[in-house]
Amino acid sequence: MNLILFTFIVLLGFTSYYFGRKKAYTIQSTKKRLTALPQFYGYYLAIWCAIPAFIIFSLWAIFEPTIVKLLILSDYSNQGYLDDELNLLYEKSKALSRGQFTGEITPFIEASAEKYLSLRSIAQSSKVVIVLSAIIASVAYAYKRISSNSRTREPVEKFLNAVLFTASLAAILTTVGIVFSLIFQTIDFFKVIPLFDFVFGTHWYPAKAFVRDSSEALDPTMYSDTFGAVPIFAGTFFIAFIAMCVAIPIGLMSGIYLAEYASTKVRQYAKPLIEILAGIPTVVYGFFAALTVGPFLKELGTSMGLEVSAESALAAGGVMGIMIIPFISSLSDDVITSVPQSLRDGSYAMGATKSETIKRVIFPAALPGIVGSILLGVSRAIGETMIVVMASGLAANLTLNPLESTSTITAQIVVILIGDQAFGDPKTQAAFALGMSLFLVTLCLNIVALRVVKKYREKYE
């Protein structure tokens, strides 16, 4: 039904475009000068057709369900039902009217279902009537305006500009959406669990909260020693640290080599090859770490008499480091190439060798940019999920031994939210609280890193 109406409106839009352009030609034939190209007259009419249709459609989508629900539930208003029961009744009658209801059909529900259907059909037909009359009215008004040869290009361009502006708001909306989706659950979480326990507690056993009866859920004392995030934060930074221990030396040195030593030919092949490492999906790294690196390290450790967990932090962190190599190497390569040649020439003129120039002149000059690229790498390591989920442990141990297993923020979010979630459960809310802390930490890192890189760029441009 909606589809037919929509097609019809689109057709109307095309027709009004046609009429608008035709009008322009008629004006032209009377030797009057047009104020814009003929097609703008057409666009103008088409926009006047689209705007009312869009407004009415969206208003309808927002208000129709609420109004229908109110009308149906007004039948039950004096019978002492609770809100939840009313909602259930409404959902039942809706399901029945679609023929999807499987429970027991009471006469009440049947009556409401019938009422629901009739209300829906009334709503549909009134929507058609209102939309069509609004379109016709607005197009007629606009047609009258263009026959007086008034301006059409400016309004059309203003409209397009508004569309472009709305699209550019998408980024802000996404950020707002992220903050909103995290903040409410997080606030609810901290209503039950004190912030202090979360930030300084050293025991993390969310599964413990799960087995408890939900009726007891609001007793905060039950959760002490359940949601202490210290082991998780520690694990996150520990694994990120291991990753950076792999990524910084290799990434930085290959960046320096590519920028300063490599011939054009080596650079041409080596750079894209290293960047392939960044294009490999993280789940693939996770599989590699869990299937190859983990067991390999375990065997290696056993042969040396060490006890290595098959899901060691070292395996996850090491593979994560490999993943981050190209981020650091490309960015530091860019940064080093943008150091002005005059600095190099000056150093060579003083008799310094190439490596001395790099170490004493170029590296200090490029340091802000390199720090920025490392910070971006750290932010990526902290936010990395799949490698940790697949290759490191899921139990949160507070340890600094790279051969044991630890867990991270991201891994815990996945562990908690995989499968069915009950909103309002402290365990689910804990995942959002973790997400919030992850978002804040990476946000700070990103802002600082982007600032530093930008400042650095401005310095040499």
Instruction: Find the binding residues for another protein in span 385-414 (CB under 8 A).
Output: 385-386, 389-390, 410, 413-414
- Is 41 in contact with 146 (CB distance < 8 Å)? yes
Using CB under 8 A, which of 19, 287, 348, 363 touches another protein? 287
- Count residues contacting another protein (CB under 8 A)? 90
Residue 357's nearest CA partner among 334, 336, 326, 331 is 336
Using CB under 8 A, which of 14, 87, 356, 459 touches another protein? 356
- From the list 13-21, 181-189, 214-222, 224-232, the region that binds another protein by CB under 8 A is 181-189
Please provide the DSSP assignment of 161-206 as one string. Answer: HHHHHHHHTHHHHHHHHHHHHHHHHHHHHHHHS-HHHHHH---B-H
Torsion angle of C-alpha atoms 393, 399, 401, 405, degrees rounded to 10: -10
Backbone region of residue 99 per phi and psi (left: phi > 0; alpha: psi in -120 to 50; beta: other values): left
Give every CB contact of residue 296 below 8 A, 6+ residues apart in sequence: none
**Least distance to another protein, CB of residue 300, Å:** 15
Please report, as residue ranges, which positions from 420 to 439 form the binding site for another protein (by CB under 8 A): 421, 423, 431-432, 435, 438-439
**Least distance to another protein, CB of residue 257, Å:** 3
Q: Is 366 in the site for another protein (CB under 8 A)?
A: no
- From the list 66-74, 78-86, 231-239, 285-293, the region that binds another protein by CB under 8 A is 285-293
- From the list 118-126, 128-136, 208-216, 349-357, the region that binds another protein by CB under 8 A is 349-357
Amino acid occupying residue 389:
V
Residue 308's nearest CA partner among 319, 290, 295, 320 is 295
**Least distance to another protein, CB of residue 459, Å:** 19
Cross-strand pairs, 204: 227
Using CB under 8 A, which of 93, 236, 282, 392 touches another protein? 282
Q: Is 161 in the site for another protein (CB under 8 A)?
A: yes
Distances (CA, A) of 333 to 271, 322, 327: 10, 17, 10
- From the list 114-122, 297-305, 395-403, 440-448, the region that binds another protein by CB under 8 A is 440-448
In a 3-state reduction of DSSP, which class is residue 353?
coil
Using CB under 8 A, which of 250, 394, 398, 403 touches another protein? 250
Please report, as residue ranges, which positions from 28 to 87 form the binding site for another protein (by CB under 8 A): none
